Amino acid sequence: MDNSKVRCYVCERNCTIALGRRGFCGAYENRDGCLVHVGWGRLSAAESRPIEIKPLFHYWPNSTSLTFSGWGCNFLCPWCQNYLLSWVRVCVDGPVVPPERLVEWARRAGDEGLCASFNEPVTLFDYLLDLAEVARREGFYLSLVTNAYFTTRAVDALVGAGWDGWSVDIKGCPEASRRRRDVLPGVDHEVVFRNARRVLDNGGHVEMIYLVVPGYNDVCAEWIIERHLDYLGPDVPLHVNRYYPAFRWGEPPTPVETLLRIAEKARRAGIKYVYVGNVHDPELEATRCPRCGKVLVVREGYRVTHWGLVEEGGRYRCPRCGEIIPIRGKYVGPKPTRYITFI
């Protein structure tokens, strides 16, 4: 490699960046032969939100987290709901939010944690490591909504720093890539599962999100279910979510029957916690005991409206049959829905 070029190892794109240029996501730049995180602390949004909206259903239930984002993305999906943040490059003249201020906002909002979301957290990698030091000292949990296309080194660093709640978006499969070569070219969809496994091996918590996009990844159900069970096992929740038209993708919303069919297939294959999201039906977002069928947790409007688990020695059980239900963190009790915006 030319001496003036640098390589970025934050995500699996492994960009080779020429002098004065930036990598694919726009957040890392080659300045005088050094890789500089120009996205450090340059935030596009910050708002206190329920954890259930991520979605994370088995992680600090009913808590709220100070949710924040940077600029840019390493993927660029044409159906992106947040393309105004993702499809733009970070402006280096923008203000910087120091980690201490973000943590102060979380404290002021009464949040239990922080969450990197809205755009891809890859663009904030070094900032996340610095933020973790401040936030963990203050006792906040740390979660992220991500395509999980980090390198394994980056996954290890994040989980090691305290980023232990991962809501992982599955974008596609080899068949989807064959069907539409112009969408996410060069992306290896298997990496997402490899990294989700890596998070679990490092002691983190994972929930997988399959946004079913007609015309692209609606052919992926079997591949995804198979990978889910092979890499992650039956206890990791799977959210089968409805897509709505956005940005450059004009297909009509995913038919609800398609979502129900996929969810049923996933359950029959052995995944214990399967949810259908973005259709606003509490029945489809409730947690049932996989052993006796009892309804244990009901959610509505991104809030827990019924909590029926019993806590015993730091673990949560079904009160009827005693089955252990995997929950990371604590159920925080009744808490109203609030969206407090700082940026």
Q: Which residues bind ligand SF4 (CB under 6 A)?
A: 8, 10-11, 13-15, 23-25, 27-28, 74, 122
Please identify the residue of the shown chain whose CB is closest to the bound ligand SF4. Answer: 23
8 is in an annotated binding site: no
Residue type, 293: G
Determine the Cα angle at 341 with ends 337 and 343, to 5°: 155
How far apart, in Å, are the Cα atoms of 203 and each of 80, 162, 200, 325?
30, 10, 5, 17
Q: How far is the CB of 18 from ligand SF4 (least distance, A)?
A: 12
134: number of Cβ within 10 Å: 17
Q: How far is the CB of 206 from ligand SF4 (least distance, A)?
A: 21
Q: Give the 3-state secondary structure of residue 111.
A: coil
How far is Cα 184 from Cα 74, in angstroms, rounded to an integer? 10
CB environment 36-69: b (16+ within 10 A), e (fewer): bbbbbbbbbbbbbbbbbbbbbbbbbbbbbbbbbb
How far is Cα 73 from Cα 89, in angstroms, rounded to an integer? 8
Q: Are strands 324-325 and 113-116 parallel, antiparallel or unpaired?
A: unpaired
Surface-to-core class of residue 249, CB atoms within 10 Å of its CB (0-12 exposed, 13-18 middle, 19+ buried): middle
Q: Which is nearer to ligand SF4, 6 or 271 (CB)?
A: 6
Q: How far is the CB of 166 from ligand SF4 (least distance, A)?
A: 17
Q: Which is nearer to ligand SF4, 40 or 105 (CB)?
A: 40
How far is Cα 197 from Cα 119, in angstroms, rounded to an integer? 22
Q: How far is the CB of 148 from ligand SF4 (least distance, A)?
A: 12
Q: Which is nearer to ligand SF4, 7 or 306 (CB)?
A: 7
Q: Which is nearer to ligand SF4, 36 or 298 (CB)?
A: 36
91 is in an annotated binding site: no
Q: Which is nearer to ligand SF4, 131 or 297 (CB)?
A: 131
Q: Give the 3-state secondary structure of residue 197.
A: helix
Q: How far is the CB of 140 from ligand SF4 (least distance, A)?
A: 25
Q: Which is nearer to ligand SF4, 15 or 240 (CB)?
A: 15
77 is in an annotated binding site: yes
Residues in the chain: 343
Q: How far is the CB of 78 from ligand SF4 (least distance, A)?
A: 18
As annotated, the binding site for [4Fe-4S] cluster includes 73, 77, 80
